[in-house]
Structure 1
Amino acid sequence: DEGSIERLTVDSAHDLHPTWSPDGERIAFISHRDGNWEIYVMDADGSNVKRLTENAVLDINPAWSPDGEKIAFVSDRDGDWEIYVMDTDGSNVKRLTERPSRDWEPAWSPDGKRVAFISEVEEHSDIYVMDADGSNQVNVTSYPTDDLFPAWSPDGKRIAFTSQREGNWEIFLMDVDGSNQVNVTDTPFDDQRPTWSPDGKRIAFFSYRDENFDVYVMNADGSNQERLTKAPTDDLFPAWSPSGKKIAFSSVIDGTPLRNISDEIYVMDTDGNNQVNITNNPTQDEFPAWSPDGEKIAFVSDRDGNKEVYVMDADGKNVRRLTSNPSFDSYPTWSPDGMRITFVSERDLNSEIYVMDTDGSNQVNITNNPSRDEFPAWSPDGKKIAFASDRDGNMEIYMMDADGSNQMKLSINSVLSFDPAWSPDGKRIAFTSYDNLNGEIYVMDTDGSNQVNITNNPARDEFPAWSPDGKKIAFASDRDGNMEVYMMDADGGNVRRLTENPGEDRSPAWCCQAQPVQEFSLLAATVIVVIIIGVFFIFLVRRRRDNQ
């Protein structure tokens, strides 16, 4: 019996890594609902959600101190992943580690005097223990393979952890000084993320035994391993309630196909019954477009039945619908002065480019052509709009004045060209072309001359997006199997993969500062701007296992 499911958070973004406060009254978690990964806290019933961290970097891995007064967490705000601590209201942030390697996954000792954590050393990860003020950092595993996810026993005498030392991921136990290391799961499957029950008698973990991750429990010595969740999708990150009567976990248990995945937080009884979803939003949000000042994001959503253009504050608040008609409206783009938004609409039975004020008023068709006109892109000075059209038989790049006049063809290809993107200096246009029967990123001058293929790869490369300083271009590619977001120099050099997950990642959108891409649309997914950092280490683990 899998029981009923109760949801605690209700948001269209990914909510991950639930962690109970010691008194059982609150749950800390990480969410991308405000544009990047931040740490939040809520009451145990899902109410009174409060954001604790607020900056443009990653803040993840929250861990409550035993007295409930502090939360340790991981942040890259100083350039590298380090361990920090703060009060539970988000104040008094203090950095604990300062090492050239990544430090993450803090775990408090039961007496609150020490913190275990993971540090990457010489291309593998070891478990360290330090005093709560960051002093006396000691490597307690010192093994040439990865040791991850330390969890203190309630009596403070042992640490459970995950290790790959026997070829696959297993749960090990050791004394806090690193002695007496023992494999307690001992299966041919991947077993990860041990968490102790409050009485120290059982350990919850998740395991990849039936073609997906499920939550299991076992006795502390590894006996009586029992599967609690049986959904066809991944159930991850179990966390015991202080009473020992409940387990919170992250899941995509709603059973939506991969294209529509949204991680949610659930709570269940320790026997697996009464599973309750505490976060929920089933809609599609896509095509994010930042306003020039970085204060707003326009996007497309089907939350009201069909796809319309919406706008919200950059923190995800004040969502407002701008278009309203029975046809599809999509692909919003802001004018450089932030006063107007172009978008594509099928309200005239074919795709046309419209422009409107940012409050949704004064919607005007500026292409007025019986063919398909799509992918509008403003020039940096706001005087021109590049777009794609099939008015001459195949899809090509065109340019027009901002009022729709003086429409002229720029590209001349035999198959398909679309998705133009202006360089910040207004001198070049990047676009996607299928002239070689696979998607490539081209760059040309704004009069259509000097067209150059800058990706030149047999895979599909699409959706170019210039960095604000014009030195980089982000794009989507399936060169490594599925669509992921990549970045390259503006001349096509130094290609680097930015995302790695089993979903389709595309349509990168830079914000207003010349920083690495950290927002992109997971097309046809339930979120708008998201990086799936919360499950990064799961995918990393799987990849290493598969490559053995």
Structure 2
Amino acid sequence: MRTVLLSLAAFLAVVTISPAQIAYESLGWIYLHAEGGNPKKLVQGVYPAFSPDGQAIAYNTQDEDGARHIAIYDLASGKSPVPNIPGDNSYGPSWSPDGKKLAFHIFNNDRWDIGIIGADGSGFFRLPVGKEVWSPSWAPDGQSLYAHDMDTIYQISLAGKALKTWPVSLFGPGASMSSGSSLAVSPDGKSLLVEVDGDEDVKIKDWDGPPSALWTMDLQTGARQRIGSRSLLAWSGCWESANSIICNGATEKKPQPAIYRITLPDGAFSLVLPIGGQPSVVPAR
């Protein structure tokens, strides 16, 4: 958990302008930031995820009793239909590449499963994995998912079979992941963006926990590369393009969590928004 107080006033002080549309959460609301304009407040919720065509945002609602459901905000109409998902504890939606399905976490029989449902509310089922796995991210063909159990990263078929595995220890001594560690498949489907916690010293004020960093992993060879500067703690990454990452980050000079852009392969980073969490963009293809 990152125990840092966020300033609402700082929200309006946009420092740089992103060429992409970015959906993100702040203080219990979903916002949309587009080039040349101020952030737009859309709807109450968290965990925004842009659809592949950029026309909708899946997100989480939470009522006063703590129940969590998946909803889909249509940008054209401003309406937010809620798919008929059983239970009252689902979160963290992830779109399939064709925009027809969502994967998400769903609490079932005292454990977390991965649920799959059509964006139109049809065809719900639970992925028969047999263990708790986290942060589902779809493979380009829409027939499998990448997820992790904090010790191992998996490629899992929709029938629940592990197709490939990569131990988290590949990322170096002391590397670890938590249930919140993110995964994101690159636009070309060849690399996986992986959020990894390390064991380095942290000099950032009020940072609680191990330092976070983003890595790329080649899905064919397993080759790994840490991206960005070690002066930037980075998490919740998503692909803006093949050579650009949007993520949350914090630095010693700016300890408040903010939204940054990291360019590849040089790893240079720049501030996009001075406040916000869980960014999502429509990647260029």
Indicate whether the TM-score tops 0.5: yes
Name the residue aligned to 1:213: none
The structure, 1 or 2, with the larger RCO (C-alpha pairs under 8 Å, 6+ apart) is 2
Structure with more strand by fraction: 2
Give yes or no for contact 1:367–1:373 (8 Å, CA) kept in 2.
Answer: no
Q: 1:486 to 1:372 in 2, by over 3 A?
A: same
Name the residue aligned to 2:69: 352
Distance 1:342 1:448 in 2: 24
**Structure 2 unaligned blocks of 5 or more:** 201-210, 271-285
**One-letter code of the match for 2:52?**
P
- 1:119-158 aligned within 5 A: none
**One-letter code of the match for 1:394?**
R
* TM-score, with structure 1 as normaliser: 0.39
Name the residue aligned to 2:97: 380
Name the residue aligned to 1:514: 242
Distance 1:312 1:505 in 2: 20
Question: Does residue 1:312 correspond to 2:33, yes or no?
Answer: yes
**One-letter code of the match for 1:495?**
R
Give yes or no for contact 2:228–2:268 (8 Å, CA) kept in 1.
Answer: no
Deviation at 1:350, TM superposition (A): 1.3
Question: Does residue 1:452 correspond to 2:164, yes or no?
Answer: yes
**Structure 1 unaligned blocks of 5 or more:** 1-256, 263-279, 536-548
Candidates 211, 214, 223, aligned match of 1:485: 214
**One-letter code of the match for 1:519?**
I
**One-letter code of the match for 1:527?**
A
Q: 1:492 to 1:463 in 2, by over 3 A?
A: farther
Q: Secondary structure at the match of 2:228?
A: coil
- 1:81-96 aligned within 5 A: none
Give yes or no for contact 1:282–1:526 (8 Å, CA) kept in 2.
Answer: no
Name the residue aligned to 1:201: none
Number of residue pairs aligned between Structure 1 and Structure 2: 239
Bigger radius of gyration, 1 or 2? 1
Name the residue aligned to 2:258: 527
- 1:466-485 aligned within 5 A: 466-481=185-200, 482-485=211-214
**One-letter code of the match for 2:142?**
G
Give yes or no for contact 1:353–1:367 (8 Å, CA) kept in 2.
Answer: no
Distance 2:6 2:261 in 1: 12
Candidates 296, 305, 309, aligned match of 2:21: 296
* Percentage of pairs with the same residue: 25
Q: Secondary structure at the match of 1:281?
A: helix
Name the residue aligned to 1:265: none
Give yes or no for contact 1:322–1:360 (8 Å, CA) kept in 2.
Answer: no
Q: Secondary structure at the match of 1:364?
A: coil
Deviation at 1:441, TM superposition (A): 2.2
Could you give the per-residue CA deviations for residues 127-153 of structure 1, whole angstroms, max 9, x where no partner exists?
xxxxxxxxxxxxxxxxxxxxxxxxxxx
**One-letter code of the match for 2:30?**
V
Name the residue aligned to 1:426: 142
Q: Secondary structure at the match of 1:299?
A: strand
Distance 1:522 1:504 in 2: 5
Give yes or no for contact 2:68–2:89 (8 Å, CA) kept in 1.
Answer: yes
Distance 2:121 2:269 in 1: 44
* TM-score, with structure 2 as normaliser: 0.72
Q: 1:423 to 1:477 in 2, by over 3 A?
A: same
Distance 1:397 1:491 in 2: 25
Q: 1:389 to 1:451 in 2, by over 3 A?
A: farther
Deviation at 1:392, TM superposition (A): 3.0
Name the residue aligned to 1:224: none
Q: Secondary structure at the match of 1:522?
A: strand
Give yes or no for contact 1:298–1:311 (8 Å, CA) kept in 2.
Answer: yes
Distance 2:69 2:79 in 1: 15
**One-letter code of the match for 2:242?**
A
Distance 1:460 1:480 in 2: 9
Distance 2:151 2:36 in 1: 33
- 1:408-423 aligned within 5 A: 408-414=125-131, 416-423=132-139
Give yes or no for contact 1:421–1:429 (8 Å, CA) kept in 2.
Answer: yes
Candidates 357, 365, 376, aligned match of 2:82: 365
Give yes or no for contact 2:213–2:234 (8 Å, CA) kept in 1.
Answer: yes
Deviation at 1:337, TM superposition (A): 2.4
Distance 2:225 2:234 in 1: 15
- 1:42-81 aligned within 5 A: none
Give yes or no for contact 2:100–2:118 (8 Å, CA) kept in 1.
Answer: yes
Deviation at 1:389, TM superposition (A): 0.9
Question: Does residue 1:334 correspond to 2:50, yes or no?
Answer: yes
